[in-house]
Structure 1
Amino acid sequence: MAGSQTNWGVLLDLSGPGPKHEQLARALRRAIRGLDDGVSVPPSRQLAADLGCSRWVVTQAYAQLVAEGYLDGRAGSATRVRRVGDAVTAKPPARPAPPRYDLAPGLPDLRHFPRQRWADAVRGVLATVPHTDFGLPDRDGHPRLRKTLAGYLRRVRGAETDDVVICGGVTDGVTRVCRALQANGVTRLAVEDPGWTRLRRAAAATGMAIDPVPVDDEGVDVGRIPRGTRAVLVTPAHQFPTGSVLSPRRRADLLAWAREVDGLILEDDYDAEFRYDRRPVGTVQGTDPGRVALFGSVSKTLSPALGLGWVSLPPQWTLPGHAPPVVDQLALAGFVDSGGYDRHLRAARLRYRARRDRLVEALGPGRLSGVAAGLHLLLHLDRDAAEVTKRARAKGVKVADLDDYREAPGEPALVLGYGNLADNAVGAAVRLLREAAG
């Protein structure tokens, strides 16, 4: 940033104790720490005019900073920023360059976020919402969105609910439920292994003891939930990351377990909207809403940046915490009520299915699993997955090691997300991945 291009009159905050020249010296120290070595600061006469102070104030401040080594003042030359070790020009560590091809799981296609329709929804809220809605928000969420989502979940997911609590996403919802569980004396949570690491860590951060439970082709192995555990977190519609669906037998076992131990099932309805071989399976919550807390969000359907999710709870449970901003809640309600959300999902399903097919074809004959639904699949390997992941990253391809999501190392495999991968990048990304795995 050149000194002549900086609006120093706006940049500098002359406040705090002491005479004006000391205030200016403090403001200049803060400002020039973010500038490169050799950048010029304004002539004293110009800066004095910009700040509306005397030139003496500026020359005194400059002299002080020259003495301290922050500035280099030479006769006949502009006064410039001077690097004095790391204390003056320290910069935050540089972020690693983003990968050229991102095949990590967890993101939808951000290129296709419905910007215009979402903007229309927000404008509609601001134009029509009564002024009373700008007051203190309802802790459980705006009544309109709660009613809208309850109807949506009944219609689309087979849920049995008349009410939902609005939260900041599934992670926020699970965190709040874990706190409610502990307030009711439940201190252990069983989780799928492998499973979504972020949720496991969020639950553990509340103080819950975590009990990993193995997953196989039928989903979580209910018979291996430890004795004394009265809550379990599952992804029945599309297990992350294996892609298995909780079998009818295991569903019955899970509900029987919850009744026997007077427990609570935390059902993360993960990737339920994206099934390609048949209609999505209904929720476990729809079978016994008194034993299941159902979680969902728009993180995989619209964007995680919106921070909008929901929990449908058994009636005896209440949650601590607060709902997201009201304008965003009402924008989502309008988007769903108008049919825009359904249209967006129909288009997304077609796009993801075509991309999935292209990725499977590019990978060719191999050991793939979890391809029937969701936004990721598993590629099983005959060599160390951690090494392949490292080599792929060096080639600009980001992939995830299945071991990152399980308690102990197992059969080597990669978790390949294709949600946010551009269609025209599939071939090149797979070619580089093959080189890394070769």
Structure 2
Amino acid sequence: MTTTVGRFGPAVLSNPVVIPQTNFAWATLVEVDGPGRLHDRLARALRTAIRDGRLAEGDAVPPSRALAEELGCSRWVVTEAYGQLVAEGYLAARVGSATRVSWSPEAAPPKPRTRRAPTRPAIRYDLAPGLPDLRAFPRRRWADAVRSVIGSAVHYDLDIPDPAGHAVLRGTLAGYLRRSRGADADVTSVFVCAGVTDGLVRTCRALRAEGIADLAVEHPGWPRLRDAATSAGLRVHPVPVDDDGLRVDDLTRTPARAVVVGAAHQFPTGTVLSPARRAGLVRWAREVDGFVIEDDYDAEFRYDHHPVAVMQGMDPGRVVLLGTVSKTLSPALGLGWLVAPAGVTPALRAANPVAAAPPVLDQLALAAFIDRGWYDAHLRAGRRRFRARRDLLLTTLAAELPRARVSGTAAGLHVLLHLPDDTDTGATVRAAASAGLRLADLDDYRAKGSPDRALVLGYGNIGDTEIPAAVALLRAALTR
């Protein structure tokens, strides 16, 4: 319904009736179209007219009876709208006087200028690390798991969740980690969290409460782990990584009493922590009365032989184990775990009293997914698929970029591509993005730059048939 109050001509209602106008001095255009009750629509229209300056501060609005006649509605509609605007401070009503506008746009803070968001080029091919094959997410079986737990969950499963996670999933994870990763875990030592980053934040809070203020991290390494530690109040000390993994000798020169390490497959270098350094890290933790935090983010994917067991089994009293399904199923699930030493468990609970566990039904669905053998089957299929995809990527890179060199263990979902020393990797990443190819610069994972020019190429979230075209775009970006 649209009506003109004042000298703008006839009012047009939702029916074809034309209502003659009175020449009010408070002239303004009022539009009351749209959903909702009529008095709400009228209040909204008047509020907009005031905000836009079409009704100025001090202007009188029509008497309720007159405006009701104009609109062809009851007087109650108008008085309700006026009363709402009086309560909001847009109108002021005085006994024996006209109701007037009491608000001016000049009194309000200036509206920020709206800027059009920059248009990003469409990404056709994804060679950045960090994602599994999202096309292969087991939708049907996951839906079956969700349906089964919704039907079987008892009423107390729907209560406020235990911050440590549902006991069913904790027990299932303990069994899975003992069987597949060689962990020393039981239901009391497993905590369910939203992923590795969440698990690290919780662990760092507990360590801070126990008097540990310094944490060592691998360099280069995943920046979010550094950010997680600093957000929990710890000082972070980067420790270099070489072909044998984290350099324990350099670790001993820091004040750290805890260290985060990717023992089975370091990100982004792709190295595996050597047996000597695994033993050295455990000795270091005992000597400094500290802890090793083992980031086991993608260890299920090893292609040249069976995955190396977790360090946590070597000394469960000194090693905290972090894991997630983000690299095996999908980060959208927001499900992970940490296995804590018995001595740290009380501090974990005390330092994270309001930590939110993932939704209980999702936890129970993951437990059912694992218990029915579907998770193991998904991993077996993933290992076959990723091994073949990695081989295809390496073959294509060798043919298209003969001056480049690939490094990294035959594991996980990424490789390092070392480029000639005169390569501008930042410019290459930008040029590739403009052509629709997502890449990652190794410098993005360093605390400071290095003369080693390299890209971190992920092959988890790209189809096999897309690899030749993606590498062709990479070659073109390098020649610009």
- TM-score by length of structure 1 reads 0.82
Alignment correspondent of 2:183: 159
The 10-residue stretch of structure 1 (95-104 or 228-237) with the greater mean CA deviation from structure 2: 95-104
Alignment correspondent of 2:226: 200
Alignment correspondent of 1:332: 366
Secondary structure class of the residue paired with 1:104:
coil
Q: Please give the per-residue CA displacement for 1:17-74, whole angstroms capped at 9, x wherever unaligned.
A: xxx62245558999xxxxxxxxxxxxxxxxx99xxx969999xx9xxxxxxxxxxxxx
Q: Please give the per-residue CA displacement for 1:233-288, whole angstroms capped at 9, x wherever unaligned.
A: 00000000000000001011100100000001100002101110111101000111
Number of aligned residues = 389
1:21-420 → structure 2 map (5 Å cutoff)? 21-26=42-47, 87=111, 90=114, 93-94=117-118, 96-163=120-187, 164-225=190-251, 226-318=253-345, 319=348, 320=352, 321-364=355-398, 365=402, 366-382=404-420, 383-410=423-450, 411-420=452-461
Structure 2: which amino acid aligns with 1:435? A
Alpha carbons of structure 1 residues 362 and 259: separation in structure 2 relative to 1, 3 Å: same
Q: Please give the per-residue CA displacement for 1:176-232, whole angstroms capped at 9, x wherever unaligned.
A: 111111111111110000011111111112221100000000000011113421000
Q: Please give the per-residue CA displacement for 1:55-114, whole angstroms capped at 9, x wherever unaligned.
A: 9999xx9xxxxxxxxxxxxxxxxxxxxxxxx95994773562441111110001111111
Alignment correspondent of 2:89: none
Alpha carbons of structure 1 residues 343 and 26: separation in structure 2 relative to 1, 3 Å: farther
1:391–1:436 CA contact under 8 A, matched in 2: yes
User: 2: CA distance between counterparts of 1:12 and 1:172?
Assistant: 49
Structure 2: which amino acid aligns with 1:263? G
User: 2: CA distance between counterparts of 1:308 and 1:136?
Assistant: 18
User: 2: CA distance between counterparts of 1:347 and 1:290?
Assistant: 34
Question: Unaligned 5+ residue runs, structure 2?
Answer: 1-32, 52-70, 85-109
The 10-residue stretch of structure 1 (258-267 or 370-379) with the greater mean CA deviation from structure 2: 370-379
2:257–2:290 CA contact under 8 A, matched in 1: yes
Structure 2: which amino acid aligns with 1:426? I
Please, which of 411, 414, 425 is the counterpart of residue 466 of structure 2?
425
- Bigger Rg, structure 1 or 2: 2
The 10-residue stretch of structure 1 (88-97 or 398-407) with the greater mean CA deviation from structure 2: 88-97
The 10-residue stretch of structure 1 (232-241 or 404-413) with the greater mean CA deviation from structure 2: 404-413
User: 1: CA distance between counterparts of 2:48 and 2:128?
Assistant: 43
Alpha carbons of structure 1 residues 128 and 209: separation in structure 2 relative to 1, 3 Å: same
Q: Please give the per-residue CA displacement for 1:142-193, whole angstroms capped at 9, x wherever unaligned.
A: 0000000000000000001113100010000000111111111111110000
Structure 2: which amino acid aligns with 1:189? L
Alpha carbons of structure 1 residues 120 and 241: separation in structure 2 relative to 1, 3 Å: same
Alpha carbons of structure 1 residues 344 and 56: separation in structure 2 relative to 1, 3 Å: same
2:237–2:254 CA contact under 8 A, matched in 1: no
- TM-score by length of structure 2 reads 0.75
Structure 2: which amino acid aligns with 1:400? A
Secondary structure class of the residue paired with 2:338:
strand
**Identical aligned pairs, as a percentage?**
56
Structure 1: which amino acid aligns with 2:466? A
Q: Please give the per-residue CA displacement for 1:110-151, whole angstroms capped at 9, x wherever unaligned.
A: 111111111111111110100111111111000000000000
1:311 deviation in Å? 0.3
Q: Please give the per-residue CA displacement for 1:347-385, whole angstroms capped at 9, x wherever unaligned.
A: 111111111111111101431001511101000011121
User: 1: CA distance between counterparts of 2:310 and 2:49?
Assistant: 60
User: 2: CA distance between counterparts of 1:274 and 1:10?
Assistant: 56
User: 2: CA distance between counterparts of 1:266 and 1:283?
Assistant: 11
What is the Cα-based RMSD across aligned positions, in Å? 3.1
Secondary structure class of the residue paired with 1:120:
helix
Structure 2: which amino acid aligns with 1:331? A
Alpha carbons of structure 1 residues 380 and 23: separation in structure 2 relative to 1, 3 Å: same
1:110–1:303 CA contact under 8 A, matched in 2: yes
The 10-residue stretch of structure 1 (147-156 or 421-430) with the greater mean CA deviation from structure 2: 421-430
2:193–2:336 CA contact under 8 A, matched in 1: yes
User: 1: CA distance between counterparts of 2:471 and 2:196?
Assistant: 31
1:218–1:250 CA contact under 8 A, matched in 2: yes
Question: Unaligned 5+ residue runs, structure 1?
Answer: 1-6, 15-19, 31-47, 62-85
Secondary structure class of the residue paired with 1:288:
coil
User: 1: CA distance between counterparts of 2:341 and 2:431?
Assistant: 47
1:13–1:27 CA contact under 8 A, matched in 2: no
Alpha carbons of structure 1 residues 95 and 284: separation in structure 2 relative to 1, 3 Å: farther
Alpha carbons of structure 1 residues 309 and 285: separation in structure 2 relative to 1, 3 Å: same
